[in-house]
Amino acid sequence: MSQPSLASYPALRLRRLRQAEWTRRLVRESRLTPSDLIWSMVVHEGEGRVPVSSMPGIERLSITEAAKAAREAKALGIPAIAVFPHIDGAGKDAVGSQAADPNGLIARAVKAMKDAAPEVGIMCDVALDPFTDHGHDGVIEAGRVINDATIARLVDQGLMQAHAGCDILAPSDMMDGRVGALRAALEAAGLKDTLIMSYAAKYASAFYGPYREAIGSGKLATGSVDNPADKATYQMDPANSDEALREVALDIAEGADMGMVKPGMPYLDIVRRVVETFSMPTFAFQVSGEYAMIMAAAQNGWLDEERAILESLTAFKRAGCAGVITYFAPRAARMFGE
């Protein structure tokens, strides 16, 4: 549809609509509320809270503290929490055996959080990298991450999470076909109401570094015949845009209820294309590196911390996101209340 002709200055003065706070609120196009936020959280074995040095203000939470956080989310109006595990090195192996443990950290954390605040949705990461000693998202054979063998382990992991009470499975591994395999397994197990939010367009990004410290996955090897140096063979090339639409289309066809773009702010163009093409609930993940950059700049006095947080989150809504997964969720929700 063609745009109508605009009046010219001085008949048209766009600053009229910006002259006061009430006029700016009246015509605001994008609105951010606690209901737009999913709280990204890391849990650990043991007691209390453990600071993450590369993410100022972020702590790994014990199961007891995670249950308290679920009650806090309810009070703040945050609808869901995305939970990620920190696994001690002694519990890791080459195939991520603990990923599907029904008595493991994630199963116990999910149960505690749902008991504490059943109204708050819990989203679990379906991926092996927190549980593997090599830090990759899948099973490695002859120096390659093997797609189908990995999917078999992801299905076991996802079923365990769903049986533990997880509401949303979020496969972040980027194996081909994993959404369809998870959906089929859920249906066969009678778990038809379990949601899948696919990491449909997850890029091989430099912005994940602090998260790897947070979950204890460490740095990948420098590269050898037994361990690839990076995740570029399964995560997307940051230079690609059309490919993201193909990935999303495949995951929708396989049974995803919602899609995700990761990272967030550097990929808002991808978010917009996905929303306009598929009209499905699309989320973005404001990842650890994005969080760390804002906090580092704010702590150096280079940015106004609260304004930068809210502006960054509003950008996701402006791009068309249904919501955003972010470590800032409780902080932002409290700011809304204030």
| Catalytically active residues, by annotation | 202, 262
pLDDT band at 218 (very low <50, low <70, confident <90, very high): low
**CATH 3.40.50.720 matches 36-337:** no
Q: Sorting pLDDT into bands at 50, 70 and 90, what band is 222?
A: very low
pLDDT of residue 59: 97
* pLDDT at residue 289 in the model: 97
Residue 227's pLDDT is: 60
pLDDT band per the 50, 70, 90 thresholds, residue 220: low
The residues, any chain, with a CB within 8 Å of residue 2's CB and separated by 6 or more, are none
pLDDT, tens only, 18-47: 999 999 999 999 999 999 999 999 999 999
Mean pLDDT (the chain) is 94
Max CA-CA distance within the chain? 71
Candidates 113, 132, 226, 218; CA nearest to 173 is 132
Domain boundaries, the chain: 36-337
What SS3 string covers 131-174? CECCCCCCEEECCEEEHHHHHHHHHHHHHHHHHHCCCEEEECCC
Of 216 and 297, the one with more pLDDT: 297
> How far is it, in rounded angstroms, from Cα 324 to Cα 333?
13
Tokens of 323: 């919501």
Give the model's confidence band at 294: pLDDT under 50 very low, under 70 low, under 90 confident, else very high. very high
Give, as one character, the DSSP assignment of residue 55.
Answer: S
What does the pLDDT look like over 256-276, one tens digit per residue?
A: 999 999 999 999 999 999 999
